[in-house]
Structure 1
């Protein structure tokens, strides 16, 4: 049996230490609190109070992650997000008081990696930053597929759209943000069984709901897929959880 290499295993976590986070927020008190929590996590911070300064600091300092408020003087967060995505793939977490699914979906479609709604717990923000940094520093973003095809399903991970395709037709599914996350996660391994707990933690990380809430979201997703001719998708595995496709 090969020896357990603890150093190699810990490497992806260690790479997040001393990462530089650009906080773009026009309220100094909020910025101070966020910075204190991030620095407690051994992360470095840089601050911008408006959109133009954020773009300038992003170009000069090359941060590892950007925490970006929507309501900013000079240039709003949506405009900053758009320009940052034109420059490259720096991870971005949006900070905003907008809490509708449509707003979240818009942010993700524009290229944000995560979305935190005000008022928020600063410890949760720090945890989200850590999670995004672990994911992006561990695996290069350009290696992730921009589209997934599973049977008749075409899932665009950049545009956050899902189409059911067949001979001579393509039907777009109108999914909520949570439904899209669930479908996309299971599509990465369509024959694998996912427990409710796993789906909840990966697809509803900001939620305080119970695991059974996943059942409700999956049921709504299944109903939409059934309406376009995909029955029993995702498939239930009694006493275990769900998988996207049943065994063939």
Structure 2
């Protein structure tokens, strides 16, 4: 019977790696949060309590707490006990805002990729949301169009109202993860409206296209709604420009 060699040629994966104490403490604290032992809003144990519980020093505990804060699982407030945050898709995606905006600022191709992703996503969202839209949803969408019309002359407020409209379209599907993704992508795109004069002359067309989308949703016509959204995004995507 063949036997496996035990010399220097064994796979590197067999090696035992010594892990940092702070990483082990982090895992234990994550387990406490994800298991529900520490629920949303609950104060974290004090540093001294954590040191005693896990048998480690203060540096390992502080490093683990800072990692939890960076991950968005807890909020560290000076002079107060750290508290557990409510877990949500929106909170998770928000943690990537700074990195995403840095990535999008590094080259025009990244913004183009985001615009393509947004196009595919929103067309899918209007298809998913149209059959589920209620009378109240339709009324709210029409009210958002009226609100946006009232922002004519204020470019920044007009763009903000435009994002609110698209955010509400994504919410029609009733999927909180989809809503969180829409919130993130639209927020990242808003960063590239630094030259808001690009909107000059396009406001009335945008309002008409929004109305066409809502009319199709109100009629329960999924294909027409998707077509209207496609036409709107194909035209308006050019308004998002890379700074410089």
Higher fraction of helix: 2
Greater relative CO (CA pairs within 8 A, separation 6+): 2
The two structures have a TM-score, normalised by structure 1, of 0.27
The two structures have a TM-score, normalised by structure 2, of 0.27
